[in-house]
Structures are given as C-alpha cells and as structure tokens.
Amino acid sequence: MTRFTAPIAEQIWDMKYRFKNAEGQAHDATVEDSWRRIARATASVEADDALWENRFYEALEDFRFLPAGRITAGAGTGRAVTLFNCFVMGTVPDSMGGIFDMLKEAALTMQQGGGIGYDFSTIRPRGADVKGVAADASGPLSFMDVWDAMCRTIMSAGSRRGAMMATMRCDHPDIEDFIAAKSDPARLRNFNVSVLVTDPFMEAVKADGTWELTFGGKVMKTVEARDLWNRIMRATYDYAEPGVIFIDRINKMNNLAYCETIAATNPCGEQPLPPYGACLLGSINLARLVSDPFGPRAGLDEVALGELVATAVRMMDNVVDASRFPLEAQAEEARNKRRIGLGVTGLADALLMVGLRYGSDAAAARTEAWMKAIARAAYLASVELAREKGAFPLFDAEKFLASGAMMQMDEDVRAAIAEHGIRNALLTSVAPTGTISLYAGNVSSGIEPVFAYAYKRKVLQKDGSRTEEEVVDYAVQMWREKFGDAELPDYFVNAQTLAPADHVKMQAAAQKWVDSSISKTINCPEDIDFDAFKEVYMQAYETGCKGCTTYRPNAVTGSVLSVSEESPKAKDAPEIVANTDAEPQQPHGDVVYMTEPLDRPSELEGSTYKIKWPGSEHALYITVNDLVVAGHRRPFEVFINSKNMENFAWTVALTRMISAVFRRGGDVSFVVEELKAVFDPRGGAWIQGKYIPSILAAIGGVIEKHMIATGFLAGEGMGLKTDPQAQIVATATGAPAGGRTCSSCGSFEMRMVEGCMTCASCGFSKCG
C-alpha cells in the first residue's frame, strides 16, 4: 500500500524530497522513511526525543502537516543547508565597500538555498554626488544588476535555486526607474520587485495631491501622487511587476514593532522581516481535516486542528535550534525572536468539501473563522512552550500586548501571554505551497482557489516510452470516489472564472488572523479595464491586506494555461495536452522571446564522436550530452576537444554558443543546418565518400547524426521527429490556450499562483 493518492505526488517526493546520496541512491526507501527522518531531526533538541519523534511523525503522517520544502528535503540529511526559507538581508550601506559586503552575504545565503529580500531605498539616487571621488552615483538599479548577476552565477554553479526580492520606498528619487525596470524582459530575471507604499502616499493618491521624492532628508523632486500611482499600476498591468507592499500597515501590525522596523520581505512577500530576519515555514493541510466531505455533516474537525497546530508549532520552534544559518547575524536574529510561519494549504478544497463557493461571503466568513482557530491554537501552544522552555529573549509583555496585531486577539490568549510569556514572536504566515501541495496529493495551494480541476501530463517510463496520466484536484478525486461521474456542483469554481474582487475578499478574510502576510495571486482577465484593475489594489488597501500581487496575461510575461469558464464535469474535465518539444511563443512578429535556460541535472547521458579532418595532425572529439524532457531526449550541451591548440579559441566559443542555444529548449535543429551550410574557401574534404564543405560542416553532421540516433530528428536533412509547435487544447471550451514552457521539465504547465510562476507538471517554481 502506498500513502500517495496520486502518481504525481510520489514523483514529486522522489524528485524533490526523497533523501538520496550524491550517486542518486535513495536513503529514504518510502515516504514513511522521509517522515521518520524529519521527525527524528526536529525532535533531536528535545529532552525526551523519542516521545516527540513519534508525535511529530503522527503530525506528518498522511500529509496532515507539511513542513516547507527546505525542511522536508534537508532535515536529518547532514547536509550544509539551511532549513529556513526566508531571509531579509542587512541594511545596505550607502557606500561602495558596504554594498559589496552585502553582496557577499547574499551569495553565502543563496549558496545554502535561502531566498532573500533587500531594501534598495538606502542607496543614493542616480546622479547624486559621491563625495571624495568627483563622480555621480550610479543609483540603486545599477547595483541590483550586480545582485542579479551574482544570483545567476550561484545558480549556474548547481546550487538550489533561491529567488530575490527587491523593494524600494515610494518616496525614493529613483522610484520611477524602479517601477519601469522589469519592462525589459531580459533585465533583473532573478528578482521580484515591489514598491513600499506608505499610508501618507495612499492618502495623497486619494486626495489627488503632490508627493515629494526625498533622500537623506532632502527633497529632490515633487510629483503628482496619482501620476506615480498610475505608473505603478500601468507597469503591473502591462508586465505583472512591481508588486505593492503596504509597509506602514505591516509595521503597525507587527508584534515586534517595539524592537524592529521592517522595510523588505522575502521573495514571495509572505514574510516581512527586519534586517537579518529569518523565518521557517510550514502548512496545515486543511483538506485532510474535513470530516464527512460533501456529506450532510461535512465540517472541519477543529479538535484535530487544534492538536495538529500545537504539534506543528513545537516542531517548527525546534527547527530554530536545529537549523544551520548562512550568517551568524541571521542565527542571532532567529534565536532572539524565534519567528515561525505556520500557514495552511488546501483551503479551497476544504471549502468545496463543506459545500462553499470560494469567493462567496460565506466562504470568506468560514475562512476567517478557520484562520482565527489556527491563530488561537498557535498562540496558546507557544504560551505553553514558553512555560516549559522560556519566552523568546526579546519578549516584553507590555509592549508586545500593545502591538497592533495583539490588540485584536481574544482576551484569554492575551491574559495567558501576560502571565507566562510566549515562545515565538510571530507565528502565522501563508506561504507558497505549490510543490508541497502536489506532494500532498494535488490539494489546492495555500489559500488560492483551485486552478484546474484536472489536466493531462505526459510521463516518461523506464523503457523510454511515454504515458499520459490525468492529474486530478484532491477535492474532485474525493467527489469522484463518493459520487462517481456525477456532475460537479455549481460551487466548483476556478481561479480564472473568479472576479478579482472575490480574490481580494478571500485574502482580506485570511489576513485578519495572519500575523505576517500572505502569498497570493489575484488573477485578472486579460481584457480587464485599467480603471477596474487599479480598483483591485485600492480594494486590497481598504480591506486590510498587507500587500497585493496580481497576474494579468500579457506579452512580456506570457499567458498561462486557461481552463473552462464553466464548471467542469467530473467525467469530462478540461484536458490540457502539451507537446513538450514546443518552441517558446513569440509575442511580437519582430521580436523572439526565448525561454529561461533549462536546468542542468548532476548527470547527463551523452556520446562522444571522433572527426579526423584530412591534413590535420590531431583529431577532434565531439561530445553531445542530452537532457530528458517529458519523455524526449534532446541535446543539452556540446564539448569539442582537440590537442590542436590552433583551433582552441574558436572551438571553445563554438561549444559555448551551441550549448547556450540548446539549453533554451524548443526546436534547435537549425543549429545543424547552419553548421552544415558553412563553406570554407580553402576547400572542404571527402570523408567516408561524402564531400564536406568545411570542418564546421563536419561538426554539424556529427551533431545531426547524434540527434537522429536519439530520436530528436526524424532523419538526415529532416526536422524534428515531433511537431515543435505547442498544441495546448482546453477541450472543455474547444478554444486554444497559450502557455509558457517550464525551464525544468519543458512542459507547458506554468501557472501564476501565490505570486510565483509554478509548474503543475513537475512542481518547479521560479521562487525556489
């Protein structure tokens, strides 16, 4: 018997969370071994470690509590990785030496796998005087380019992907350039960017007043507040960035406002953190806690919820002591405040199971009630930990209870904190859960609505063949098991068909009882009116959200897979068929946007070929390595070696250029044709009875031979064995749907969820 309810869940576990050695041999034979490994590691700091290991295992069992990916993959492995997901780095000094000290710290953090956030508002604006060197400042964006290059270098070295967040205050003199930075799709690819929006700025926008841009106490420019707001809105309308962070609200509601000031968040925005702040994440799987799903007594088991939350809080608190940290300043910050980020996943599925339509007033009210139950249980569990182990070192009862978030907490919880203290300064957060949600049986992600109730994916088998499997949402699978092919009720809605206002309503309902923030995407239709789009952000501000992230399909970011606007039938779910050898879409006729490079695994299959060019003393050795993408072998990189140093420079350049093209995916057969067409005016050569016009043509012929042998090309002088044009069909509507390729598996299953492009087929996420 397997614990996995869907094949994709087991595949995600094997690819991402199963502990394997450097040779790929598995230490975790089963998912139970993974749970035991995590439970043992997190219980290791307990006095009675055997007792707590068993309790932690019970919480993990059947995917009820889902520690974030870094804990699931790293705990108990002995690897030099951090178990923390989120870091905000130290304040960037306005000096060249200080800036590059911060760059070094960022590199060390990313090397261990942490996603980082930075506030670039502290760097003087472009054109400002630099004393002592008779020069003008290059401004914060120029240094963001340096950070971007560093992140790209770290990732190319094989480290786990870790994204970055850059923030800038709405009153910084370079804010207009910051807003426009992502209009260039090739710039700042490793950054998410967000504007720190203040309450006075929002009041100026509503009053149609002026707004001063300042640095170092000096007013450098005055603009119309509404014009600046419209710039922000137009940028995110056109290319999905920057996001908006309501920074004054975050600081006002922070339990630790008395001892820290926040100016940045982690890459997905759910963790506002102070300088060197760090947070670990985990999620309660609400979909596993519904009793009698779709039945007359359907409801969330709140007793089981309270017990699970208490165990999860203790487990996460232990991670603070068990984890490594890239920097000592991060370790100190974490241990002084013991921040954790306990959130949820499977909310939309749980609402479906109790008969509620996501986005309705009833669903919002139920969400608020569930999140309050989690907050109460978490805070009371942390109080009990404080009685046993002590409060966090910077705890000050009077100041803590006077903070914005604690003022709304129930009086019995406040009284318990006043008497016993609290172990963790902040406890709740809703993080992106795309990958762990797949691992848990394809439950809905975080507090997001269901994106698609079913879709098809192609799976590579051990014999090289491909099979097609249906990936079904967890709640839909439960419905099928109970009612067979009965049509899904009308309250089954998806992310595409919801009005943006319904998205915001759900975010605001959850935010009331989340003491950090929420990672959520508000999906907007491509044809939404610009004024209506702006109203989404104003609604988010007015209803108490701490930030807002929208996604509207556009030419720069591409489109995402569409699904039926009608409620799909269980027996006729939307079928999404993607030819995984597809070329990237071309938004404009005169510009070709290439996909992100495919990721390189630690091992590749390949072949080496020898060319002996007549008249040359030394042979050329050509190695072509292949990547398996969704069942296809495709060329990934080329190496050319020879003892003939005369050709060294051009062979190195050639291999780098060809490999760079191969790693972009799509139809790369043109490389063969271009090489084979090169004519050497000094004359070619006869090789094996065939005239070859140049040594470059010979290289092209070898690469073509390899592509044919691996099934990538149909034959000599022929194109791809399969059509490279993406054929993505949503059969429920009969309309074609555009899609972006996944840079990890090559499929066209990319979706914008929780503020991050995420692949539904393999779980890859841009944000780590």
Q: What is the pLDDT of residue 549?
A: 94
Do the Cβ atoms of 158 and 206 come closer than 8 Å? no
Q: What is the pLDDT of residue 370?
A: 98
Provide the β-strand partners of residue 20.
26
Q: What is the pLDDT of residue 95?
A: 92
- The number of residues in the chain equals 768
Q: What is the pLDDT of residue 465?
A: 65
Q: What is the pLDDT of residue 738?
A: 43
Higher pLDDT, 184 or 206: 206
- State the Cα–Cα distance between residues 288 and 149, nearest whole angstrom: 42
Do the Cβ atoms of 171 and 214 come closer than 8 Å? yes
Q: Among 288-292, 647-651, 725-729, whose mean pLDDT is lowest?
A: 725-729
Q: Which residues are catalytic?
A: 266, 268, 270
Residue linked to tokens 């797949």 = 438
Q: Which amino acid is at 336?
A: N
Q: Is the pLDDT of residue 545 over 90?
A: yes
Report the pLDDT averaged over residues 334-339: 97
- State the Cα–Cα distance between residues 88 and 271, nearest whole angstrom: 9
Q: Is the pLDDT of residue 716 over 70?
A: yes
CB atoms within 10 A of CB 92: 23
Q: Which amino acid is at 6?
A: A
Q: Is the pLDDT of residue 590 over 70?
A: no
Full DSSP string of 125-183: PTT-EETTTTEE---HHHHHHHHHHHHHHHHHTTPPP--EEEEEETTSTTHHHHHHGGG
- C-alpha closest to that of 240 among 561, 558, 499, 551: 551
Report the pLDDT averaged over residues 721-746: 44
Indicate the pLDDT class of residue 434, thresholds 50, 70 and 90: confident
Contacts of 218 (CB under 8 A, 6+ apart): none
| Joined tokens for residue 249 | 């609200």
User: What is the chain's Cα-based Rg?
Assistant: 27
Q: Among 62-76, 78-92, 735-749, whose mean pLDDT is lowest?
A: 735-749
Among positive and negative, which fits the CA dihedral 486, 487, 490, 493?
positive
Q: What is the pLDDT of residue 163?
A: 80
Higher pLDDT, 24 or 436: 436
Q: Is the pLDDT of residue 597 over 90?
A: no
Nearest-10 crossing angle of helices 302-322, 49-60 = 120
Indicate the pLDDT class of residue 570, thresholds 50, 70 and 90: very low
Read off the pLDDT of residues 80-124 as tens digits, 9 standing for 90 and up.
788 998 899 999 999 999 999 999 999 888 887 778 999 999 999
Q: Among 143-147, 163-167, 223-227, 653-657, whose mean pLDDT is lowest?
A: 653-657
Q: Among 305-319, 335-349, 682-696, whose mean pLDDT is lowest?
A: 682-696
Q: What is the pLDDT of residue 447?
A: 97
Do the Cβ atoms of 429 and 375 come closer than 8 Å? no
Read off the pLDDT of residues 728-737 as tens digits, 9 standing for 90 and up.
223 333 333 3
User: Average pLDDT, whole number, for the chain?
Assistant: 86
Q: What is the pLDDT of residue 391?
A: 98
Read off the pLDDT of residues 247-302 as tens digits, 9 standing for 90 and up.
999 999 999 999 999 999 998 989 999 999 999 999 999 999 999 999 999 999 99
Q: What is the pLDDT of residue 740?
A: 60
Read off the pLDDT of residues 495-504 as tens digits, 9 standing for 90 and up.
888 999 999 9
Report CA-CA distances (Å) from 76 to 35, 80, 101, 318, 454.
10, 11, 32, 13, 35
- State the Cα–Cα distance between residues 421 and 396, nearest whole angstrom: 8
Q: What is the pLDDT of residue 155?
A: 59
- State the Cα–Cα distance between residues 581 and 748, nearest whole angstrom: 10
- State the Cα–Cα distance between residues 454 and 479, nearest whole angstrom: 13
Full DSSP string of 312-378: HHHHHHHHHHH-B-SSHHHHHHHHHH--EEEEEE-HHHHHHHTT--TTSHHHHHHHHHHHHHHHHHH
Q: What is the pLDDT of residue 553?
A: 83
Q: Where are the domains of the chain?
A: 92-129+148-195+211-244, 605-709
Q: Among 155-169, 217-231, 397-411, whose mean pLDDT is lowest?
A: 155-169
Instruction: Kindly tell me the burial class for residue 739, based on how many C-beta atoms sit within 10 Å of its own C-beta (0-12, 13-18, 19 or more).
Output: buried
Residue 336's region, left for phi above 0, alpha for psi from -120 to 50, else beta, is alpha
Q: Is the pLDDT of residue 721 over 80?
A: no
Do the Cβ atoms of 168 and 196 come closer than 8 Å? yes
- C-alpha closest to that of 267 among 251, 243, 287, 285: 243
Q: What is the pLDDT of residue 159?
A: 44
Q: What is the pLDDT of residue 444?
A: 96
Q: What is the pLDDT of residue 231?
A: 98
Q: Is the pLDDT of residue 605 over 50?
A: yes
Among positive and negative, which fits the CA dihedral 36, 42, 45, 46?
negative
pLDDT above 70: percentage of residues in the chain: 86
Residue linked to tokens 């007015």 = 542
Q: What is the pLDDT of residue 1?
A: 57
Q: Is the pLDDT of residue 160 over 60?
A: no
Do the Cβ atoms of 208 and 256 come closer than 8 Å? no
Q: What is the pLDDT of residue 111?
A: 80
Strand 620-629 and strand 632-641: the pairing is antiparallel
The whole model's pTM is what?
0.79
Report the pLDDT averaged over residues 210-235: 97
Cβ density class 631-654: b for 16+ within 10 Å, e for less = bbbbbbbbbbbbeeeebeeebeeb
Higher pLDDT, 21 or 450: 450
Q: Is the pLDDT of residue 587 over 70?
A: no
Indicate the pLDDT class of residue 663, thresholds 50, 70 and 90: confident
Cβ density class 399-414: b for 16+ within 10 Å, e for less = ebbebebbeebeeebb
